[in-house]
Amino acid sequence: MYIDRDITAQLIKSTAPVQFVIGPRQCGKSTLLSHLTDIPFKEVTFDDLQLRNLANRDPALFLEQFSPPILLDEVQYVPYLFSEIKRHVDQLKKQRLKDKQSLSVLFRMTGSNQLLIDKNIKESLAGRASYFYLNTLTVHEIQHALTSFSIQNILFKGGWPELYVDQSLSPIPYLNDYIRSYIEKDIVLSAGLQKQEAFNTVLGLLAARTGMLLDYANIANNTGIRGVTVKEWVSILQRTALVYNLKPYASNLNKRLTKTPKLYFLDTGLATRLQGWQDQVPLITSPQAGPLFETLVFAEIFKFIQNYGKDWQLYLWHTKEGEEIDFLIMTQSGEVIALDAKMSMQSVQPVRLPASFKKTFPQVTKIILVTFGGQKIQLSKECLVIPISQLHEFLLRIT
């Protein structure tokens, strides 16, 4: 079974000679590109050590054997190939211009290690590549692919495509292996981290704090690691698309606003596994359920922005007195949307916009409550409830 991805239309519209899809391992990058039917592409994966060695040792010979159009998987391992790809693209571009022909897509690539991509690749392809960012499945993509699904199940196992394509797989050993093979090895080694055990401890503490204000000093005190080191490790996790540090909205006119960000994992399954949950039933009634659901809502909004190439800004709004709105979306057209995540399984009560928020954003007349379940309903003049299963459709209507 192939699960359609929302980013597909954006990829097909792009005509850059190189298309580069970046995202964490096993989120479906190569599967997505192999299912684009506009042009038949040969496929090469650099998980194959022999091909990896050939591409690094003799890139010209590699491109003679594997001429475009070609799909190259996990290209962060072949940094020496990219000067040859640059030369190849430039030659074809000159030839096509001479023949008065347009240049089509020549290379489609995937990469899962942003650290190595930034270091070895991006500069080589300047002006020749379009970059796209893919993460794990959204709630919308899952519900579109499956005849039956539950938000509770998605909260527990996240959006890893293989867990939905083969539903006999248990998320616990799958994610344990992912943590060992990708996070503890690939990321730690490429970042040159020396304190792997301490890094793993910090990773677990961050997972326990997903959906919460991020206190570097508190994590440092609990681990014996300096706060500046914790901050550096969070930055590495953000660059590898595993977490996101959501910054608060800042206004020089409002001194009451806090400057403390919130940390969110971009996949709730990874967060629940790092928290140690073995079953979804006790999880859903635990104190962690609320922050995890907020994490799921954040991930849905964040992935929507990436999948559709939206030029939106995303913030939290929080005052020193504790007034808070979980998410502010600011569009390129100037529209501002205020959203709160509400996990409550009981009836949801109307929420009012804080007076201090109204002073800053008088054009915002309502707050959107994104709920675990239920139906879309207008609770009051300034409070609209939307279940997370309908959040994608709501975001599509934003200009």
Report pLDDT for 113.
74
Helix, strand, or coil (residue 192): coil
Report the relative pairing of strands 324-330 and 70-73 from DSSP bridges.
unpaired
pTM (2 d.p.): 0.93
* 234 close to 219: Cβ distance less than 8 angstroms: no
Give the separation between CA 36 and CA 132, rounded to whole angstroms. 14
Which CATH number is associated with domain 8-133? 3.40.50.300
Enumerate the domain spans of the chain.
8-133, 139-396
Query: Is the Cβ–Cβ distance between 378 and 384 less than 8 Å?
Result: yes
**Per-block mean pLDDT, blocks of 10 residues, the chain (399 long):** 93 88 93 83 91 94 92 91 89 75 82 75 77 96 92 96 94 94 76 78 95 94 89 90 93 72 97 95 93 98 96 92 92 94 82 90 94 92 95 93
Task: Say what the pLDDT of residue 166 is.
Answer: 93
Distances, alpha carbon 397 to alpha carbons 272, 391, 394, in Å: 32, 10, 5
Residue type, 80: Y
The pLDDT assigned to 259 comes to 84
The confidence score (pLDDT) of residue 212 equals: 95
- Give residue 256's pLDDT: 67
d(CA 25, CA 335): 35
